[in-house]
Amino acid sequence: MRIRRLDGFKDDYKRLLPEEQALVDKALGFLLVDPKYPSLYVKKRKGAKGIWEARASLNMRFTFTWENDLITLRAVGHHDEV
């Protein structure tokens, strides 16, 4: 599995606190090993064709597209922002 980060994701990530970045990093590690890892709660976004959402924590989410072995990270942040 490969990961690509869009500029929007990179900008969002930079604005997170170091503790939040650590949570995202841990979740991305799980995503690479098993995109269906239970604590990620991966689901399709309603009304957004081809876009998925996963949890980094109860309050942190990130969105991505998933094609074959490529995951493209789109956005990351607090639940209400993403």
The answer on pLDDT for 82 being more than 90 is: no
**2-78 CATH, one of 3.40.50.970, 3.40.50.300, 3.30.2310.20, 1.10.8.80:** 3.30.2310.20
pTM given for the model: 0.89
Q: Is the dihedral of CA 17, 26, 24, 74 positive or negative?
A: positive
User: Tens digit of pLDDT for each residue in 6-60?
Assistant: 999 999 999 999 999 999 999 999 999 988 899 999 999 888 889 999 999 999 9
Query: Within a 13 Å sphere around the CA of 7, how many CA atoms are in the beta-carbon half?
Result: 0
Contact between residue 1 and residue 68 where contact means Cβ atoms under 8 Å apart: no
**From CA 45, how far away is CA 57, in angstroms rounded?**
17
Q: Is the dihedral of CA 43, 33, 10, 79 positive or negative?
A: positive
> How does strand 52-55 pair with strand 60-67?
antiparallel
